[in-house]
Structures are given as structure tokens and as C-alpha cells.
Structure 1
Amino acid sequence: MTWKTGQRLQDGKYVIEKVLGRGGFGITYKALDVELQRTVVIKTPNEDFSDDSEYDKYIERFIQEGRTLARLSQDPHPHIVGVIGLFKEGLTHCLVMNFVPGENLFDAVKHRGVFQEAEILPYIRQIGEALVVVHQAGLVHRDAHPRNIMLRSNIKAVLIDFGIAKQVVPSTDTSINKDGHKAFAPYEQKFRGSRELTVDIYTLAATLYYAVTGEFPTNSLARKLDKTSLTPPKQINSSISDQLNQAILKGMALEAKDRPQSMQAWLAMLEAPKATPPPPVDRFHRTEAVRPKAKLNSEAIPVKATTKPPRIIPWGWLIGVLLSYLLIGYLLAASNAPYIIWAWVGAGAVAVAVALAVAWAVAVALAVAWAGALTVAVAWAWAGT
């Protein structure tokens, strides 16, 4: 039974607005929470299959996983739809979730065309991180195809409509057989109702395939039964990188054992390789010239340049000249030279005497400073002579 627009549930708390989607064992409605005046999504089992032998098992798992999702929503994840509550309307179990506005990835590709690699990867990483949280809670989404990925206007993707109890869906009219959904499911999900984590890895990799090529990937059943090959996405869109091409092919490996065994491992394949720092320079390339150091009192001190030697006064030549003047004065006095000459010689003698005195004092001072006590003794000996 399908509820019609305007139908009221829970004594008028919710009002059905329209059907959003219909899967194998579930129907999704858009409804209004009258008390809070907000739009919500209500998911119910499809009672058209109540005669199926596995229907009771599906209902049990529907309730169990609904409660798990509600507990998961107590710490809301930005990329997982929030579960508000679980109630029963007559004989029908209902799961209430937040309504996520926006456009799903399937319609976005249909209307806008393929995504550039740099544009789609942030969305895929966000959904991958959401699935990591789901897996840690002990769940497998099993329906992470493009119709269940909503793209928000704030450049965020949100994972919606969990494929609850997918392993017990009937063999007819399942979600993986409608609207191309079968192109995103691994064959073991169809054959065995697999609940392994690798199911979500395959589905998300197939979703990425569709986003960058605009084409559905080859059906996994045809690959398994008919040996049909999967066309590499780079053959359809040559602009994608080799790294992205390999990540998609690895995530969509036909056999589960050949895929990455965790969502984190597959997401790591999408990461750009980090730049490797250059190797350290060898020591001999960094050797610096070092001035030799002298040691003084066991401490190293830099060697200073040698100072320019002091200019030496020719004292011997100067004393010789003075003695010559004395000799000339003596000879003139002995030969009775005229008066004027005597005057000149007298003045010269006085000048020489003064010069000798000055020379004597300077000689003594310098001798003390430069030659020490021995030089002073020699100077006095010369003076005495």
C-alpha cells in the first residue's frame, strides 16, 4: 500500500506530501512535520512484498538498523543524513530522517555533464569518510549510488537512503535492477546479498566512474557471467589522471578480494602523492673555510695581522753630523778666524749644543723604551766618552 498526498500519520504529526522513490523493499516519502514545521523524509517497507518468505527477516533488520542509525545520529556527521525517529503506523514500520535539499549526483551529471576530476573528488572523499563512520558502526550502506548522494549548495555531499536489509530483497523489482542501479552494485550483492565492506567500495568507485564519464559502468553480472570487460574510464574521458583511472578500476575489481579491503585504503588511492624532500647535502659540500687559531692559555683566539714595524731614527748618522760641527768650531778657533766667523761659529756651536742636548734626551728616552736597560747603559757610556 502506498500513502497518498495529504495523508496524516501519528495523529496528524506528519503529513505526506509526495513519493520520493520506490525501491525493492522500501518506499520513501517527503512529508511535513506539522509541529516543527519542517520537511522530513519517511521511509517504509514496501508491503506489496509482504507475502515474500523473507519479508519478516527484512522487517527485523529494518527495525534493528533503524535504531542503529538513530544512535549514530546522536553525534551527527555532516555527510550522513540524520535519523530523527522510528515509529509504527498501523502495521507499517516507519523511519523518519532529515530532508536534504539539493540535487542528487545522478541528476547533476544528467543536467550539467561530467565533472572535472578536481571538482568531483572532494564530494567522493566526503561520502567515503561518511561510509567509514557507517562501517565503524557495524553497518554497510549497500546503496551509495549517484541517486543517494545529494549535492548541497555549500559544496557538501550528503549520503541518504540507506539500503537497509538489502540482502533479503526479493529477486524481482529490486533497486539494483532499476534506473541503472544495477550498474553500481557488485555481483555478490545480487547473488548472495553480501554485507561485506567491499560492497560499498565497489559502489562508490562505480559512482565516481559515472561522474567522470557520464556513462554507466559495465554491469558486474555481465562481467561475471558473460566475461564482458569493463572499459577503463580514461578511454572515455582522457582528461582524467592515471592515478584516478587506476583507483576506479581497483575499487571496481570484479572479485571482492581484489579490491581494497577498507574504505580508508581506497580513499588513500585518490590522494595526490606528496612531494619528496630533497636528500640532505653531504658535509663536504657545506665545509666552510676557517681561519687558523692560535692557542693562548689553552684558549683559542684568532690570529691578528702583524702590525707595521715602527720607523727607526738614524741616530748614528745624526750624532756623526753633530760631532762634525764641533770639530769645525774647534779648527776655526785655532786658526784665529775673523770676528764674524767667530760669531757664526759661536751661534752654530750653541745650536749644536742645544741639538745635542735634545738628541741626548730623545736618545735616552727611546733607548729606555725600545732597548731596555742595556741600551741606556750604552748611551751613558757614549756620553761619558
Structure 2
Amino acid sequence: MDLDAFRWLLTDDGRRLLDRATGLDPRSLSDAESLRRTAAPEHVAAALTQVELRRRAVAKLGEDAARMYFTPDGLEQATRAPVAAHRAARLRASGLRTVVDLGCGIGGDLVALARAGLTVAGVDLDPVRVEVARANLAALGLGGAVGVADATEVDTTAFDVAYADPARRSARGRVFDVDGWTPPWPFVLDLLTRDACVKLAPGLPHEVVPDGVEAEWVSDRREVKEAVLWSGRLATTARRATVIGDGGLATLTDEDLPAAGSLREADGLPAYVLEPDGAVIRAGLVQAVAALADGHLLDPHIAYVGAPASVATPFARCYRVVEELPYREKPLRAALRERGVGRLTIKKRGVQVVPEELRRRLALRGTAEATLVMTRVAGKGVALLVEPPA
């Protein structure tokens, strides 16, 4: 995005053009042509880009999206509003009050932090993203300072907390090597020697987390969105799973894990199967869900929990086991056809099954809908017909 064109959008004429463009189709040539009668092509392109990005941003940022500004890569990296709000609330509850965002992008986290009552400042290497972040704070009536700077050269000592969200994408796509992040992993490790909060990808390996640093995995509406490292006074445990949903927020930590050998012993097929939330799995807290359900692991290496009774918990989906079906494909097909199943959801863990391919080979034609869990119990492959509890 051109910096001058974006700055023009913030003028009175630019805002009027953006208002006119809001009701149009950004992909329509005729709509674009109608705008070009009164504005320069580069200004029309900038306005239509914002219209499209605002539409896409609603899923992440809700009603704020209609007033905010974006760049394509900035929107891609922006945190979902409920997740950012959780992080900001946790920082607010810590008693610390000033935060510097090192690599603030379009300012999504600055918005959440400022709304939580924190004093915020942000830096970014890209002048366009800095201008967008500044505009977003202003558009939402929030305070905060934003400037162009290299995050690795900023003196953070004047702030209570340093926050960073290293860029994990390049022109070639997602970057999995930590040394290819911007800022790179050594910078993150140095930052974690003080009171800091660092947002990372949810696939973060446990073994790279430094001693004394808390690792929190966060899911929103059952999608694992991020891993967050908390250091210094912000670290309160070793591992945490936080689940955000329609019912609010719930959290498990390693302190909720049962004592070794205290879980219920498996005794045949369970009456219910629990499918832990992805954040719980990433955090290595499946056994905490088993303890919560007075249950057991179906297999020591698989994230399914067997339970003797129905359990309502934000940390897992619960299913009643209707019956065990044949695990082998041919008799499984016969059993499902006998039950009139035509629409089949296949859930699998710990077995070599590709649900889409298996569903195609089963070639079911019935009218009933069913859910099948394919996994291992005590090392043996099983197929369980399940349903939500009554």
C-alpha cells in the first residue's frame, strides 16, 4: 500500500471517498469506474482496498473493523479481538501499567491494551503499518504513541512490560525456523529475561521454552490461535491452556494435573469419550481433563479421554459411546449401511486414517447422520459410534 495514498484517505476528502466506496463491490470494474470520475486512480484503489480488508476483518475484529484501517499482511497477522482482549486483561490484572509493542503492525494489540486502561507505545519498521496503527488508535478514540523504529534497537527499560509478536511470514509464506522470524529467536530469548509477553505460533515446542517462563496456549471458538510466553513477574505457572468461547473464558494449568498413578484405570470401552480442546492438547494437559472427568486416557499417547458419565466442560467436547463398530473397512461399511448412515463425521487420532478418503471409499447413501471416532484403546484400533449426550 502506498503511504501517500493512505495518508490521503485520512483527509476529509479521503474519508468521503471511503464512505462512498463502502457500499460498493471492490471487485466490480463498473463500481471502481464510478469512483474514478471524482478521485485519482491511486486514491480509488486505496479506498477499495480498505473496503475489502474491512469486510475480511469482521471475523477477527468484530464491529471495530468498520472503523479501522488495514494492510493485507497486517490483517493476516492481527490477533482476534477476544484473544487480544484476554491478553490485555491479564496484563492489566498484573498491576503493571505501561507496555511497549515491539513490532506493532496495524495496531490491533495496541487497541486491546489501550482499551484495558494501559499506557501504550508501539514501534514498527514499516512506515505504512505505523501510519495505519496510529490511524486505528485515533479512529477508536484511544491514546497511544506509535513510531518507526527497529524493535531490536529500542530501549524498553522505561516500560513495565515489553510485548512482541514476531513476524512469522515472508514473501515465500510461513516461516517455521525461529531464526527466520522478525525479530529473530535470540531477540525473543533476551526479551524474556525481563517482564515480557511474546505471542508465538501454537506449534511452539515445549523444549524451547526457557526455564521460569510460562507458556500459555489460547484457543478461540475451538481454534488454537497462539502460544504466548510470559516472563518475569507475569509468569505464574509453567504451562497453561486458556479456552475462549461463547460462555466466557476458562483456564487449566499444570497445577491441575493429577498425581502420578491417580487416574482411574481403563475397564473396557468407556461410556463417554471426551475430545480435549486443542489448547489443552498443545499445553500437555489432557490428563487434567481426565482427572476433571474422573476418567482415563484411552491410550497413553493419544488425546482422547474415557469417562464413566457425561461431563460438561469448556475444555473438551463430550460424546456418548453408542456402540463399537468393526474397525476394518469392509465390515465397517456394512455396519454403517445397515444403520442407514449417509452423512458421516469421522474423528481420528493415533491411527493411519484419512477421513476424507475413507468417507469416499465407504460410499454411504443412507439418510441418517452419525459421528465415528477412530482411535486406539490399549494399542488396538477401534471404531466407536458416538453422539452428543442428551
- TM class, shorter-chain normalised? under 0.3
TM-score by length of 2: 0.23
Structure showing greater radius of gyration is: 1
TM-score by length of 1: 0.23
Higher strand share: 2
Higher helix share: 1
* Higher RCO (C-alpha 8 Å, min separation 6): 1
